[in-house]
Amino acid sequence: MHAKSKLAIFNKRYRRQILATLTEHIMTFAHAAGLGWLSPTLNILQSPASPLDFPITTEDASWIGSTFGLGFIAGNVFFGLTLDRLGRKLNIYILAFPHMIFWILNYLVQSVEYLYVGRFCAGLASAGIFLVVPVYISEITDKDIRGALTAMAMMFFSTGLLCGYILATYLDYYLIPCIIIVLPIIYLVGNLFLPETPQCLLKHGREKEAELSFNFYKNIEPETNVECFATQPSVAISEFKELKAAIDLGGLSVPVTLKDFFNRSTLFNFFTAAILCLLNQLSGSFAIINYMANVFAASGSTIDPNVSAIVMGFVQILGSLSATVLVERFGRRPLLLSSAVGMMVGMYGFGAFVQFTDEETKAAYNWVPIIFMMLVVFTASYGVFGIFFTIVVEMHPAKIRVQALSICMLFNSILVFITLKLYPFFLFNLGITVTMYSCASVCVIAGIYLYIFLPETKGKSMEKD
């Protein structure tokens, strides 16, 4: 359909797709900054230097962490029900508001309940970011760059986490909400200039608007480019007709029924997606982000835990950038499987160092836990955490993709709540060694299954099964 090159991502055709992706990831960045802010902030709020007028206990801290999971569950139910009914764009607007409420409540905090509700709202926003945005991006982008642009989410996520770590460590508690709340406002203004996806418009029978949207995202404007008038319209018409035919033939404009979910292929995809969710959460890839400073404090390392967490933020950015660069070159499977192996090695090594060394050795080799955790964070960022959403979006049949993704994210959100609630218990009661060994064992078991059964989804059409 169009010329390919080694630098295809710089093709004029993709400019608006990239611009739209960058606009959506403003919220990804802002959300991640809120998650990164939590880890050092919890340590500060539990210390004598707390800026709040009330104490935060370990149990309070556990609930502050886990109420995010409850919000994530509620958000997946809400956005799963509204994504097709209200369309992608309206949901993209909606998800910004709970995030803004999160920062407003952090600023106005009068009791720990403010923090609970704020984290719940952060979970609501997170569900929208990880359910609505991947579907939107997958529908507006060409398959040649889809993997890179969906994986780009983790690069913004990692950068936001790092900014959150730094802001919480070095700036006043009440100043941070005033800075971050500007981002969702910019995000909302930017989205005013972006149309609904052509697939969503076609599903609702709005063919003329769908064609205009298609031309917008493919950067086709023949009326302003006389030289291309003879070639681009015919290409655009051909591609749009192909998209419309794929949606019609695939039954995407026909209501979804229970029969679409209960067949061997679909059930197998659901089971494989469930294993991916278990790996994504029970491996600790997300919980470690929330409790990074606590992990280093529990390791016995003499290096400042907050400084270690900031170092991990830089490592996470490198891992996410690697995913963006490598996902279209090597495919999804190799990155995911090598990531599971890297996390397993890093966590077994971290746990063994803590278990089998004395205090003198820990002090002399205080850099060893950082090296092992760098391996865990880097490999998680380019695979288990980094391309998880890319794979889950691509693996399901086109007709039920939105509903299937919603179900998977609902299951994943339940795991988020369980993990964030149990991780502090494992960390503080059972110890860092048991925590690391348990997470590493999940990588082993899930990795074996995925090595045998996970299909490669690189280059898969978003309209055809």
Helix (H) or strand (E) holding 204: none
Residue 111 phi/psi, 5-degree rounding, is: -155, 170
Q: State the pLDDT at residue 250.
A: 59
Residue that is written with structure tokens 């061997």 in the block: 264
Q: State the pLDDT at residue 6.
A: 45
Q: Is the pLDDT of residue 155 over 70?
A: yes
Side-chain half-sphere CA neighbours of 425 within 13 A: 8
Helix (H) or strand (E) holding 465: none
Q: State the pLDDT at residue 3.
A: 43
Q: State the pLDDT at residue 2.
A: 44
Q: Is the pLDDT of residue 193 over 90?
A: yes
Q: Is the pLDDT of residue 59 over 70?
A: yes
Give the whole-angstrom CA distance, residue 180 versus residue 158.
16
Residue 303 phi/psi, 5-degree rounding, is: -75, 140
Of residues 121, 115, 126, the one with CA closest to residue 173: 115
Q: State the pLDDT at residue 122.
A: 95
The answer to whether residues 320 and 158 touch, using CB atoms and an 8 Å cutoff, is yes
Give the whole-angstrom CA distance, residue 220 versus residue 38.
44
Give the whole-angstrom CA distance, residue 418 versus residue 282.
9
Amino acid at 78: F
- Which range has highest mean pLDDT (12-16, 40-44, 95-99, 134-138)? 95-99
The answer to whether residues 158 and 416 touch, using CB atoms and an 8 Å cutoff, is no
Q: State the pLDDT at residue 379.
A: 93
| Radius of gyration, CA atoms only, the chain | 22
Q: Is the pLDDT of residue 399 over 50?
A: yes
Averaged pLDDT for residues 172-192: 95
Q: State the pLDDT at residue 293.
A: 72
Averaged pLDDT for residues 386-415: 83
Q: State the pLDDT at residue 252.
A: 56
Q: Is the pLDDT of residue 149 over 60?
A: yes
Give the whole-angstrom CA distance, residue 278 versus residue 28.
22
Averaged pLDDT for residues 152-173: 87
Q: State the pLDDT at residue 311.
A: 83
Residues 6 or more apart in contact with residue 421 via CB below 8 angstroms: 62, 65, 66, 69
- Which long-range contacts link 257-262 to residues 24+ away (Cβ below 8 Å)? 260/397, 260/399, 260/400, 261/400, 261/403, 261/404
The chain-wide mean pLDDT, for the chain, equals 84
- The tokens describing 13, both together, are 């055709």
Q: State the pLDDT at residue 253.
A: 55
**DSSP structural state of residue 95:** T
Residues 6 or more apart in contact with residue 453 via CB below 8 angstroms: 268, 272
Q: Is the pLDDT of residue 52 over 60?
A: yes
Tell me: the pLDDT tens digits for 280-296? 999 988 888 777 777 87
Residue that is written with structure tokens 């803004």 in the block: 100
Averaged pLDDT for residues 416-437: 86
In angstroms, how far is CA 461 from the centroid of its own chain?
Answer: 21
Surface-to-core class of residue 306, CB atoms within 10 Å of its CB (0-12 exposed, 13-18 middle, 19+ buried): buried
Give the whole-angstrom CA distance, residue 210 versus residue 253.
13
Can you say whether residue 331 is alpha, beta or left, with left for phi > 0 and alpha for psi between -120 and 50 degrees?
A: left
Per-domain residue ranges of the chain: 10-205+252-453
Report helix angle 332-356 to 432-453, nearest 10. Answer: 160
Q: Is the pLDDT of residue 388 over 90?
A: no
Residues in the chain: 465
How is domain 10-205+252-453 classified at the architecture level of CATH?
Up-down Bundle (1.20)
Q: State the pLDDT at residue 233.
A: 53
Can you say whether residue 239 is alpha, beta or left, with left for phi > 0 and alpha for psi between -120 and 50 degrees?
A: alpha
Give the whole-angstrom CA distance, residue 32 versus residue 156.
8
Higher pLDDT, 420 or 181: 181
Give the whole-angstrom CA distance, residue 147 versus residue 127.
20
Confidence band (pLDDT; 50, 70, 90) for 9?
low
Percentage above 70 pLDDT, the chain: 90
Q: State the pLDDT at residue 21.
A: 94
Tell me: the pLDDT tens digits for 67-117? 988 898 899 889 988 988 899 999 999 999 999 999 999 999 999 999 999
**DSSP structural state of residue 218:** T
Residue that is written with structure tokens 């720990």 in the block: 112
Q: Is the pLDDT of residue 230 over 70?
A: no
Q: State the pLDDT at residue 231.
A: 47
| Terminal CA-CA length for the chain | 20
* Cα 86-405-256 angle, rounded to 5 deg: 65
Q: State the pLDDT at residue 431.
A: 87
Higher pLDDT, 462 or 114: 114
Q: Is the pLDDT of residue 153 over 50?
A: yes
DSSP letters, 307-356, are: HHHHHHHHHHHHHHHHHHHHHHHH-HHHHHHHHHHHHHHHHHHHHHHHHH
Residues 6 or more apart in contact with residue 463 via CB below 8 angstroms: 199, 243, 246, 247, 250, 252, 398
Q: State the pLDDT at residue 226.
A: 44
Of residues 397, 391, 149, the one with CA closest to residue 280: 391
Tell me: the pLDDT tens digits for 324-382? 888 878 888 999 999 999 999 999 999 999 889 888 888 888 888 889 999 999 999 88
